[in-house]
């Protein structure tokens, strides 16, 4: 008998190409691994349920953001505007946001972190569509291109995300929690966090990258703990009770604490910088930190083919680019307001092009406000 030749690199590449071709098989007979084949659906029903929860949750969040924005616009048009937290419409938006976040929370119990975290781009693109439809915002060519890229990236993410199904029990979380990979990761993360916090607190360096890196480092702990808590609750409902283990409450405390400090640094970033800059950068940093956390803690890419990982990362890149295009210069766009032209008035100084002042509560300012005001007050005194 002839001896079997050892598998070489060409065999591995051929296997990866076979897997790629199977990912684009539409309903082909046989076992298949096609992204739209019946066998693929059979193996990924739980993951698809998590994806559906995440997409619906992000769409509800985008609706809630637009409701809150509409509430602020209505209050601004009132003669005596009241505080926004006294508006029933604003609280309705907050309630919808809570529902959407609950959908995201539940999604982590059914699908890997590396599949759910990048779907945050749905919230940004969905918010742009809703604002164009209901708030009559301008629809730009970059919006259409960004939405197309985000949807294409989402399809690649869902199709080529790691195909693993983990039952997240308390013992599983304990095993990962004391693993050497996570311990090394935590040491490095704490070291980087302390260095950045030193520059932020002691040196007064409040650069956007530093603030959003602090948010991303905390977000990695958030997604790890959220998946652990959500997974243990799901396991308790389908199999055996897991809420009696101390690790559940440890993860619950980590989840709450990391969320609180994450919101603190994110609010600081939004106060200092434009939302059009903060939103895409925060989405990119959060997604990268969540993917790294899922790979290290839950080992979600273990045994994945190189080509599958490459196409997955390419899908992430497309979604990042789509979010950037949708949010780019959106706040800087204002409707062109016509100026007031007094024309030539005999015996009066010509005051043309009195432009609205966006930084003031008054309608507009004069070209040389101080001199004009003085001259007008002097004329009144003479009269």
74 and 121 housed in the same domain: yes
Q: Using alpha carbons, list the distances in angstroms from residue 28 to 23, 33, 247, 364.
A: 11, 9, 44, 67
- Choosing from 146, 164, 182, the residue where a domain stops is 164
The full DSSP string for 187-217 is HHHHHHHHHHHHHHHTS----HHHHHHHHHH
80 and 128 housed in the same domain: yes
Average pLDDT (110-125) is 89
Average pLDDT (248-262) is 94
Spatial separation of the C-alpha atoms in residues 200 and 261, rounded to whole Å? 14
120 and 208 housed in the same domain: no
Would you say residue 375 has pLDDT above 80? no
The full DSSP string for 63-75 is HHHHHHHHHHHHH
Domain membership flag for residue 240: yes
In terms of residue numbers, what domain contains 230? Answer: 167-299
123 and 228 housed in the same domain: no
- Predicted model pTM: 0.72
Would you say residue 25 has pLDDT above 50? no
Contact 90, 84 (CB under 8 A): yes
Average pLDDT value over all residues in the chain: 78
Residues 6+ apart with CB under 8 A from 251: 173, 224, 225, 228, 229, 232
287 and 182 housed in the same domain: yes
Residues facing 341 on adjacent strands? 352
181 and 84 housed in the same domain: no
Domain membership flag for residue 52: yes
Spatial separation of the C-alpha atoms in residues 202 and 10, rounded to whole Å? 55
Other C-beta atoms within 10 Å of 114: how many?
A: 26
DSSP 83: P
- Choosing from 246, 271, 299, the residue where a domain stops is 299
Segment 177-232, tens digit of pLDDT: 999 999 999 999 999 999 999 999 888 888 899 999 999 999 999 999 999 999 99
Q: What is the pLDDT of residue 376?
A: 47
Would you say residue 372 has pLDDT above 70? no
Q: What is the pLDDT of residue 24?
A: 39
Total domains in the chain come to 2
Helix-strand-coil split of the chain, %, nearest 5: 70, 0, 30
Q: Using alpha carbons, list the distances in angstroms from residue 36 to 46, 69, 207.
A: 15, 38, 45
Contact 64, 93 (CB under 8 A): yes
175 and 249 housed in the same domain: yes
- Choosing from 164, 190, 220, the residue where a domain stops is 164
Average pLDDT (357-376) is 46
């Amino acid at each position: 008998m002839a001896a079997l030749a050892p598998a070489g690199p060409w065999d591995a590449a051929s296997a990866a190409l076979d897997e790629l071709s199977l990912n684009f098989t539409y309903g082909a007979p046989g076992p298949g691994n096609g992204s739209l084949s019946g066998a693929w659906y059979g193996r990924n029903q739980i993951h698809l349920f998590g994806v559906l929860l995440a997409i619906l949750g992000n769409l509800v969040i985008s609706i809630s953001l637009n409701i809150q924005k509409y509430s602020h616009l209505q209050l601004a048009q009132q003669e005596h505007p009241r505080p926004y937290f006294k508006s029933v419409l604003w609280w309705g938006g907050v309630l919808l946001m809570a529902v959407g976040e609950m959908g995201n929370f539940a999604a982590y119990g059914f699908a890997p972190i590396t599949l759910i975290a990048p779907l945050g781009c749905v919230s940004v693109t969905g918010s742009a569509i809703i604002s164009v439809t209901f708030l009559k915002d301008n629809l730009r060519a970059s919006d259409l291109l960004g939405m197309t890229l985000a949807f294409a990236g989402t399809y690649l993410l869902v199709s080529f995300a790691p195909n693993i199904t983990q039952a997240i029990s308390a013992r599983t979380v304990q095993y990962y929690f004391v693993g050497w990979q996570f311990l090394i990761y935590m040491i490095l993360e704490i070291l980087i966090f302390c260095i950045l916090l030193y520059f932020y607190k002691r040196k007064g360096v409040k650069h956007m990258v530093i603030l959003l890196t602090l948010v991303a480092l905390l977000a990695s702990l958030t997604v790890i703990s959220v998946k652990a808590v959500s997974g243990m609750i799901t396991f308790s409902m389908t199999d055996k009770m897991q809420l009696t283990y101390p690790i559940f409450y440890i993860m619950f405390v980590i989840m709450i604490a990391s969320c609180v400090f994450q919101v603190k640094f994110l609010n600081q970033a939004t106060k200092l910088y434009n939302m059009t800059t903060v939103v895409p950068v925060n989405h990119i940093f959060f997604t990268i930190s969540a993917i790294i956390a899922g790979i290290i803690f839950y080992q979600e890419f273990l045994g994945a083919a190189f080509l599958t990982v490459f196409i997955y990362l390419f899908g992430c890149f497309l979604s990042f680019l789509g979010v950037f295009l949708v949010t780019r210069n959106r706040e800087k766009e204002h409707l062109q307001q016509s100026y007031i032209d007094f024309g030539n008035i005999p015996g009066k100084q010509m005051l043309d092009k009195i432009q609205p002042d966006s930084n003031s509560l008054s309608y507009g300012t004069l070209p040389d406000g101080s001199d004009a005001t003085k001259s007008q007050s002097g004329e009144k005194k003479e009269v």
